[in-house]
Amino acid sequence: MDVLGHRVGGGELTLIAGPCAVESEEQLMPLARSLKAAGVQWIRGGAYKPRTSPYEFQGLGVEGLRLLATARDEFGLAVVSEAVDETSLARVEEWADVIQIGARNMHNFELLKRAGRTRKPIFLKRGFSAQMEDLLWAAEYIANAGNPDILLCERGIRTFSDHSRFTLDLSIVPRLLAASRLPVFVDPSHACGRREDIHALARAAVAVGADGVMLEVHPDPESARSDGPQSLSPDEFFGIASDLRHVHAALRSGEEVAT
């Protein structure tokens, strides 16, 4: 699959990074510049935020999408942004390069059908209580409506285990790769909810065979309007991105060792 000339899958490692939510031009533009400098070709950022409470920040809407598009124009970054209903989906389709369907909407079958009628690739996150089969059926809703360009993403499931926000289920990655031809991503940021563990989990995601990793990065995590505790600073991200590429290359040469 190709997005803006950036290849996904087929042995490439794709890093998608950016803030949980787009907050302002001052937040986004320097960050986009850092991502570019770190060799990243994709930016994520939420303009429409599904939040547990109605009193939390719900996103900038079209204004946020416009900022993301500016980042694309300036730095050549492909833009991934989430749609939460029919209206926002039309907007995201217009402004972004890839439309994200979040975990909380993986079972929103009407939105999936509607996503199937767009011309942009869909980044589909596993619901946090979805069986693997449910995720593949969700992808089938999209494909069946006419859109075969789907990227799957594991982002943690709900379990009794309370040392992390959700339990990252990396064992689904080889299963999905065996069961479908779709690229498989991992989002350790939302799964673990804790900055200190992101590097180790991102390495594990690469090692288990994921085609890409999505990471939350914020120019000033302490002041983030959402997901601060799990957001990396640009400096932290820079080191991690280098390392992940290094690990990815080592794994590929290891495959030759193993065979």
Hey, which residues between 176 and 205 contact its own copies (CB under 8 A)?
178, 191-192, 196-197, 199-201, 203-205
Minimum Å gap between C-beta 105 and its own copies is 6
> Which one of residues 14, 81, 88, 230 is an interface residue with its own copies (CB under 8 A)?
88
Hey, which residues between 100 and 159 contact its own copies (CB under 8 A)?
104-105, 107-111, 113, 127-129, 131-134, 137, 140-141, 144-145, 157-159
Hey, which residues between 223 and 242 contact its own copies (CB under 8 A)?
239-240, 242
Per the structure block, which two tokens stand in for 176? 């999905």
For its own copies, which stretch binds (CB under 8 A), given 3-11, 26-34, 46-54, 60-68? 46-54
Using the rule CB under 8 A, is 209 a contact of its own copies?
A: yes
Q: Are 101 and 83 in contact (CB under 8 A)?
A: yes
Hey, which residues between 156 and 175 contact its own copies (CB under 8 A)?
157-164, 167-175
Packed helices 234-258 and 195-207: angle between N→C axes, nearest 10 degrees: 20
Hey, which residues between 49 and 78 contact its own copies (CB under 8 A)?
50-55
How far is residue 227's CA from residue 224's CA, in Å, rounded to a whole number? 7
Identify any residues that bridge with 15 across adjacent strands, giving them in sequence order: 213
Annotate 187-201 with b (16+ C-beta within 10 A) or e (fewer): bbbbbbbebebbbeb
How far is residue 216's CA from residue 91's CA, in Å, rounded to a whole number? 22
